[in-house]
Structure 1
C-alpha cells in the first residue's frame, strides 16, 4: 500500500527543529514502513535536501510559499492508496482534487475546526471527504463533534507516544550518568530542579510558574526553575512577553534559569536532569506531548486541568492535576511536598514511566494508526 504523509507548513520533517507532529511522525514511521510504502511531504529546511530517501522512506520538500499547491501538484503525478493530512482540514479538498481515488485520513492536533480558523462550509466539506479523522485527545474529538455531529462515526482518538530508546531509566547506570553530566553542564548539581519545557508564550504559563517560585523558595532555597525553550520552536529571539519573564525572574534570578531553545535530540538528557516537571498551560491545551516525555523520563508531573492534559494523568499516581491553573500558590502547594519527599518523587516518577511503557510507546501509536488505515481502505472498497 502506498501512503503519503502531508505535514504542515510550520516545521520540516524529520524533526530537526522539533514540533509535536514532526516528532510523532519520526516515531511511528519506522514501524509503519514495515507495512506500507511511505512518502513524506514537508517544507524545506537549509539542513535538509529537497528530496531524499532515508531508511526506505521517501522525503519530498517544498518551499513554505505555495507549499500545499506544490504538494498537490506532485501528488497528482503519483498514485497513493491513502493520503494522511496532518492538522490542516482546509487543504483536504485540494489534496482530494489532486488524487480523487485516494483515501484521505485527517489527523487533528489542535482545535482546527474552530470557526476562527475555518467556516462551517469548509469544515463540513473536509469532514465529508475524509474517510477517517483522528484526534490527539478526547477533548479535541468532543470539540469537533459538538459542532459537527456528522463527524462522530469517522472520528477516533489517537494518542501520541514516545521512543523509550531515547529515554534510559533514570535509575539505570546509563540514566544516572546522563543525569549527572547534564546537571553538571547546567551547574545545578546540588539543586532541586523544577523543569518547564515548552514555548515561551503566555498560553503555556511560564510567568505563573516564576511567580510560584517566590513561594517555593520560602521552603526550598536550593530549588531552581529551569525554563527550557524559546519564543518559537527554534527561535531564541526576544519579544515583549519574553522580556516580562526575565523581569519577573530578576528578583529571584538565583532560582530561575533560562536555557533558551534546546534541540530535540538533547531534550531527553534535560528531562533526566530534572526532579519535577510542571506543565502550566493556561489555554485549553489539546494534549501537550511533554506529558509523554516526562513519563518516559520517570519524572513526576504537575499539570493543569486544561483541555486534554488530564487524559493521560491519574491524579496522585503519575502526577498531580491543578484546577486553579492561574494561581501561583496552586503550583507551590504541589511542588513543596514533592521537593520535601524524594521517595514520593521517585514513586510517582516510576509509576509514570511504567504507565507510559504500557500505553504510550510509539509502537502503540503506529499499530493503532495502521489499523485505522486498514479500516479506511475497507470503507473505500465497499
Structure 2
C-alpha cells in the first residue's frame, strides 16, 4: 500500500515542542511494517530539511503562511503521483481539494478531536459536507467514534477507531525508589478546558492532610494572561507549584519520571488523552476526569482512579490523599499502569490496526 498523509498546516513533522497530532503522524509512520510506503506532507521550517527519510516513510516539507497556501503547496508537491489511499489528519476542510486532485483515490480523515468539526471553527452543515466526501473516518477512541457517529449520523457507517500509542523506550519508569515528597504532575496546554484551577484547589485541600505534597505543571499557552491568572491563583492558595513552560519532546519523558502521580482534570470532552498513556508508560498512577475517551485508558482502581465529579476539587483531593498516604497502593497502581501501557498502547499496535483498516477497505473496493 502506498499511503499519503497530509499533516495539519501549523507545526512540522516531527514536532520539536507540542504538536500531539504531528507526533502521532510521525510515530505511526515509523511503525508501519511490511511492503507499505508512506509519504508525509508537512510544514517547512528553516531548521529542517525539505525531505527526510525515516524507515519506510518519506517526509516532504512545504511552505505554509496560511491554510490555503499550505494546502495548495502540498497538492502541487504530490500531484501526478499514485497513491492507494490518502490520510488527512484533523483537517476535514482539506478533503474537497484533495478529492479534486486525486478523484479516484480513497480518502481517510483521521480525527483527533471534535474541534475541527465544531463551532467556532466550522458550521455543522460545512462539517457534514466535508465528512461526507471522506471514504473513511478514523477516531482515536471509541468515545470519539460514538460522538462523531451521533453528530453526523449519515456518516456513522464510515467511522472506525484506533487508540493512540506511546514510545515505550523513551517513556519508562525511573527505577528509583525510596521516600520522597509526593509530587503531582500535570502536562497539557494551559487553557480553561484542561481544568488546572480545579487541580490547584485540589492540591490546596490535599495539603491539609499531607503538607509535603507539591505540584509541577508542564505546558505552554498562546495566552500569557491565562498563565498569569494560574500563577496568581496558586499564589493566593498558598501552594508550591512549578510552571516549567512548554517542554520539548525530548524533555517530556524526564519530566514524567520526576513524579509520584499524574492528574488530568479535564473539564470538557477529551477524545483520548495521550498524556495519560505517557504517564502510565512512565510508571505513574493516573487520577483523571471520567470523561470522553479517558476511561478507555485509565481503569478505576487498577492503574489509577477516575473522578466522576470532576468539577469538584474535593473529588480529586480525596484520591490524591489516598495515594499520598499509601505508598504501597501507589506502587501497585504504578506497576499496573506500566504493564497496561506496554500491552495496550504501543505505536506498533496503533500502526498495525490502522493498516488493517486501510487494507480491509481497499480489498472491499477491489472485490
2:305 paired with 1:301 = no
Q: Give the 3-state SS of the residue equivalent to 1:310 in structure 2.
A: helix
Match for residue 154 of structure 2 among 135, 150, 170: 150
Q: Secondary structure at the match of 2:8?
A: coil
What whole-Å deviation, never above 9, does each CA across 1:11-66 have from its counterpart, x for those lacking one? Answer: 21012223222222222222215431111111122321233334442211122321
TM-score by length of 2: 0.93
1:48 maps to 48
| Distance in 2 separating the partners of 1:248 and 1:148 | 40
Q: Does 1:219 align with 2:222?
A: no
Partner of 1:88: 91
Q: What corresponds to 1:194 in structure 2? A: 184
Q: Counterpart in 2 of 1:203?
A: 193
Q: Given the alignment, which residue of 315, 326, 329 partners 1:344?
A: 329
Residues 138, 219 of structure 1: CA spacing in aligned structure 2 closer, same or farther, 3 A cutoff? Answer: same
SS of residue paired to 1:39: strand
Give the superposition deviation at 1:123: 3.2
Q: Does residue 284 in structure 1 map to residue 285 in structure 2?
A: no
3-state SS in 1 of match to 2:16: coil
Per the alignment, residue 316 of structure 1 pairs with 301
Q: Secondary structure at the match of 1:227?
A: strand
Query: Is 1:108 matched up with 2:111?
Result: yes
After TM superposition, give the deviation of residue 229 of structure 1 in Å. 1.2
- SS of equivalent residue, structure 1 residue 169: coil
Q: Structure 1: give runs of 5+ residues left out of the alignment.
A: 181-188, 233-237
Distance, in Å, in 2 between the alignment partners of 1:239 and 1:169 is 33
Residue 25 of structure 1 corresponds to: 25
Aligned mates of 1:333, 1:53 — CA distance in 2: 49
Asked whether the equivalents of residues 2 and 80 of structure 1 are also in contact (C-alpha less than 8 Å), the reply is yes
- Across the aligned residues of Structure 1 and Structure 2, the Cα RMSD in angstroms comes to 2.0
For the 8 Å contact 2:201–2:237, the answer to whether it is kept is no
Moved more, 71-80 or 198-207: 71-80
Residue aligned with 2:38, SS: strand
Deviation at 1:341, TM superposition (A): 0.8
Report Cα offsets for 1:184-238 as digits up to 9, x if no partner: xxxxx94210001111111111121111121121122211101111115xxxxx6
Aligned length: 363
Q: Tell me, what secondary structure is at the counterpart of 1:168?
A: coil
- The 8 Å contact of residues 111 and 138 in structure 2, kept in 1 or not, is answered as yes
CA–CA distance in structure 1, aligned partners of residues 125 and 192 of structure 2 = 32
Q: Relative to structure 1, is the Cα distance of residues 39 and 335 closer, same or farther in structure 2, using a 3 angstrom cutoff? A: same
Residues 1:348 and 1:222: Cα distance change in structure 2 (over 3 Å) = same
What residue ranges of structure 2 are gaps of 5+ in the alignment?
none
Partners of 1:115 and 1:254 lie apart in 2 by: 36
Asked if residue 377 in structure 1 is aligned to residue 362 in structure 2, the reply is yes
Given that 1:37 and 1:57 are in contact with CA atoms closer than 8 Å, whether structure 2 keeps it comes out as: yes
Paired residue secondary structure (1:285): coil
Relative distance call for 1:261 and 1:117 in structure 2 (3 A) is closer
Q: Which residue of 2 aligns with 1:169?
A: 173
SS in 2 for 1:273: coil
- Distance in 1, matches of 2:246 and 2:131, equals 37
Between the aligned partners of 2:298 and 2:239, the Cα distance in structure 1 is 32
Partner of 1:73: 76
Q: Distance in 2 between matches of 1:221 and 1:81?
A: 59
Quote the Cα distance in structure 2 between the aligned partners of 1:254 and 1:135: 38
